A and B are shown apart, each in its own frame.
Chain A
Amino acid sequence: MKTREINSYTSNRKTNINYMIFGAVIAILPLLNGFGIIQSSTMTILGTVMFYSIVAMGLTILLGFSGLVSLGTAGFMGLGSYMAAYFTEDMKLPFLLSLLISVLVPVIIGVLVGLVSLRIEGYYLAIATLAVSEIIRRLFDIDKFTHGYSGKNGNYPIIFGLELDKSYTFILITIVLVLIMILSNNFLNAQTGRALLAMKGSEAAAQAMGINLLKYKLTAFGIATLYASLGGVLYNHFVNYTYPDTWNLLLSLNFIGIIIIGGMRSLSGAVLGTFIVFGFPELVLKEIPGIANIDGLQYVMSGVFLIIIILFYPGGAINIFKDIKDTSKKVLQKILKKPQEAEVGS
């Protein structure tokens, strides 16, 4: 038992270092943009992918690890985004204070939803969260705070008097993303993660083992809404604009789509899935000549692509790398084996 724990500790540290390397590579991109190697629009899309990844990771913990469904992700993300816009633009609060409040309020609501999840499950829970999300979304129509359907402007964050521009905001998002990945990785590989997995497997069995369902359901919902609202805050400070209709059911469904495409129980899967859903159509499909010429085909293709991935990789696209590794190993073995067989034959 002890050796296993040590093993998990070292492998955990290895994963964390991988995350840091991943973050460092991405943080270089603004520099390349400065040299003109990478276009500014590519940066915008990658930034978008990153804060959506944070939100998706919240859902990975909620759905992938705890087995609780939420259709309210978009509502919480929108709430974070609008609150950040209101606090920094209208009330001129400092960025960090505004961040704290605009994350705290959604988390409190999320924990309340967690209480509801003790009584209902499955589709009923999904619809309950959808109802919460729709209620929140209706708040975005109040002109006084949100400017209603003309949308609300945001700004780049100011930290300790230092005004960030787009590139620095990009780096800030990268740092937050890596921190969140390390944090999630650590607690998912510790007691919390095991408790959540046990709860997903069987609630009754988990209870019998002494796992407090109330505590862990509230934790799961709290974390999911924390990540969603954090993603929303970063959205507002990076895109600098928020609009009521952005935060609809389709976006919430997209997040479920992301973690299913990427891999239900993998943090890197969430990032990969987000890239496939939000980055791939813009960055890759648009570059293919036949698709780019026809208006809207790129959008249709992303839908087709989603279905194809689920049909062929039900366990998530993160397995593609494993498959590539396995097949390349096989091919290598074949190549290495062939001359030997020929020798035997002669």
Chain B
Amino acid sequence: MDSFLRILFSSLETGSFYALAALGIIIIFRTSVIQNFSIGAIGMFNAFIATYILMEWGVPTWVAAIIAMLVAIIVGIVIDFAIMRPSKKVTRINKEIMTLGLIIIFIGISPMIFGVLPLKFGRFIEGSMKILGIHVDYNTILNISIGIIVMVLFVLFLQKTKCGLAVRVTASNETAARLMGVPSKNITTAAWAVGAALSTLAALMLAPRITVNTAMMNGVQVNALIACVLGGFQTFYGPVIGAYVISLGRNVLIYYLPHLGIEWLDSSWADPILYLLILLFIVIRPNGIIGKKIIKKV
């Protein structure tokens, strides 16, 4: 029971990293119809900025985090203005490869500005408490709650506000949205800003567990992409569910695989087995957990 609770808390925590990144991917996907491969790199770059601010200015961790997220919003807007808007004639997959160019730029530029040594970004709060007989760090609880609060706010924003309606309209049909007077260009820019900020938040929540380095978001990026596929691209909440499912599945496999008593089967096989299961799931349900079937017209 103890171990299960531990797995549950850990899964909720890592799940919120994946879910935030997946939200960043899906909001950009829905508004500009491109798969953004660079969301992890953007988060990584801004995590460097937060760490730099933390070390140079000596401000509290949360102040550094907020400044980094503001920078991320600017980064997102700049990317949209500099690259996505001029590329009207460029096809979808070419735009996706441009985000690959962005990865190269961010991975190249970070060590140039901040040095090659791995940096440490502290936790938001220290200490731990006892829940149902196991020790849980305050920081874990904070991460879980940030994840859930952001998700709830996001869904409320999309469903209840006028801006959210504009986002949904743009997502379902951009041309029609523009005809109806929705400023779809501004919506896309805002989506890039929000996506970058969400990814930065995920990176900063992840940062205390590992060091801040150029490869820190690779795992999150891959898992967030897979979460989007698992949850389906048609809804905003599908990828979030996918993210938590992946996180839980991964942690359960990591914990229980060595307990199966098979000699060579250690926890490093968790990811391959998880991916294999997801692969089988996609083959059986090609549109993901929540995915609606898109009827193709010939």
Contact = CB atoms under 8 A, between A and B. Distances in A.
Interface stretch (B148-156, B202-210, B254-262, B276-284): B276-284
Interface in A288-346: 294-297, 299-300, 302-304, 306-307, 310-311, 314
B269 interface: yes
B83 interface: yes
A253 B226 contact: no
A249 B108 contact: no
A304 B218 CA distance: 21
B109 A138 contact: no
A303 B100 CA distance: 8
Interface size class of A (residues with CB under 8 A): 35 or more
Contacts of B288: 124
Contacts of A138: 268-269, 271-272
A304 B221 CA distance: 21
Contact of B109 (A134, A139, A202, A300): A300
Interface string A129-163: 01110110011010000000000000000000000
Given A120-B282, A300-B105, A314-B89, A248 B218 contact: yes
B103 A123 contact: no
A307 B112 contact: no
Given A123-B35, A124-B229, A314-B94, A307 B282 contact: no
Contact of A253 (B90, B100, B108): B100
Interface residues of B, number: 47
A133 to B, nearest CB: 9
A40 B253 CA distance: 48
Most buried by B among A139, A248, A250, A314: A250
Interface in B169-190: none
A310 B108 contact: no
Interface in B249-298: 268-269, 271-272, 275-276, 278-279, 282-283, 286-288, 296, 298
Contact of B105 (A254, A303, A310): A303
A277 to B, nearest CB: 10
A50 interface: no
Interface in A163-202: 202
A139 B287 CA distance: 29
Interface string B60-94: 00000000000000000000000100110111011
A299 B282 contact: no
A120 B286 CA distance: 6
A225 to B, nearest CB: 16
Given A135-B272, A300-B104, A127 B90 contact: no
Contacts of A141: 268
Given A116-B283, A123-B35, A204-B298, A256 B105 contact: no
Contact of A296 (B100, B111, B287): B111
Contacts of B100: 250, 253-254, 256-257, 306
A249 B41 CA distance: 13
A303 B104 contact: yes
A310 B229 contact: no
B102 interface: yes
Contact of B279 (A131, A249, A295, A296): A131
B101 interface: yes
Contacts of B221: 249
A294 B275 contact: no
A141 B111 CA distance: 28
Contacts of B83: 307, 311
A180 B268 CA distance: 37
B279 A302 contact: no
Contact of B101 (A131, A134, A304): A304
Interface in A201-243: 202, 204-205
A177 B22 CA distance: 40
Contacts of A135: 272, 275-276
Most buried by B among A123, A296, A310, A314: A310
Interface string A248-275: 1110011011001100000000000000
Contacts of B108: 296-297, 299-300, 302-303
Given A138-B272, A204-B298, A260 B112 contact: no
A119 interface: yes
Most buried by A among B108, B226, B233: B108
A342 B83 CA distance: 46
Interface string A24-57: 0000000000000000000000000000000000
A311 B83 CA distance: 8
A127 B226 contact: yes
Contacts of A261: 97
Contacts of A294: 112
A62 interface: no
Contacts of B97: 253, 256-257, 260-261, 306, 310
A34 to B, nearest CB: 35
Contacts of A69: 93
A299 B104 CA distance: 7
B74 to A, nearest CB: 19
5 contacts: A134-B272, A249-B222, A254-B100, A297-B112, A303-B102
Interface of A: 69, 116, 119-120, 123-124, 127-128, 130-132, 134-135, 138-139, 141, 202, 204-205, 248-250, 253-254, 256-257, 260-261, 294-297, 299-300, 302-304, 306-307, 310-311, 314
Given A254-B100, A299-B107, 14 more contacts: A69-B93, A130-B222, A130-B226, A131-B275, A134-B271, A134-B272, A135-B276, A204-B298, A253-B37, A256-B97, A295-B112, A299-B104, A300-B112, A310-B94
Interface of B: 35, 37, 83, 86-87, 89-91, 93-95, 97-98, 100-105, 107-109, 111-112, 218, 221-222, 225-226, 228-229, 233, 268-269, 271-272, 275-276, 278-279, 282-283, 286-288, 296, 298
